[in-house]
Amino acid sequence: MKNLKGISKKVLSNQLNELMADQIVYKREYLTGKVKHTEYQLTDIGETLIPIIVALNDWGENRLKQVTLVKTFNNDL
C-alpha cells in the first residue's frame, strides 16, 4: 500500500480480494518481531498471465510512440 499512489485502501482491498477469489494471487501474513506484514504473491495460475501483461505493455508503449509521432507530425504542418 505504501508504494501505491492514487488508490484508496478500500479499492485496493476489493481488487486483491477479487484476485484471490479468482486464484490469481494469494495472501501471506507473517510477523517480524511484533509487526504484522501482509504480502500478496502470484499463484501458478497468476504467473501464466505474465506474458499477456508484458505483451499488452509492449503494445501500449508502441501505440504511445505512434500517437506521439502523429501529433508531432501534425503540429509541424
Q: How far apart are the first and last CA of the chain?
A: 46
Q: pLDDT-derived band of residue 77, with 50, 70 and 90 as boundaries?
A: low
Cross-strand bridge partners of residue 28: 39
The C-alpha atoms of residue 10 and residue 51 are separated, in whole angstroms, by 29
Number of Cβ atoms within 10 Å of the Cβ of 25: 20
pTM, entire model: 0.72
Give tens-digit pLDDT for 37-68: 999 999 999 999 999 999 999 999 999 988 88
- Other beta carbons within 10 angstroms of residue 1's beta carbon come to 9
Q: Please tell me the predicted confidence (pLDDT) of residue 48.
A: 98
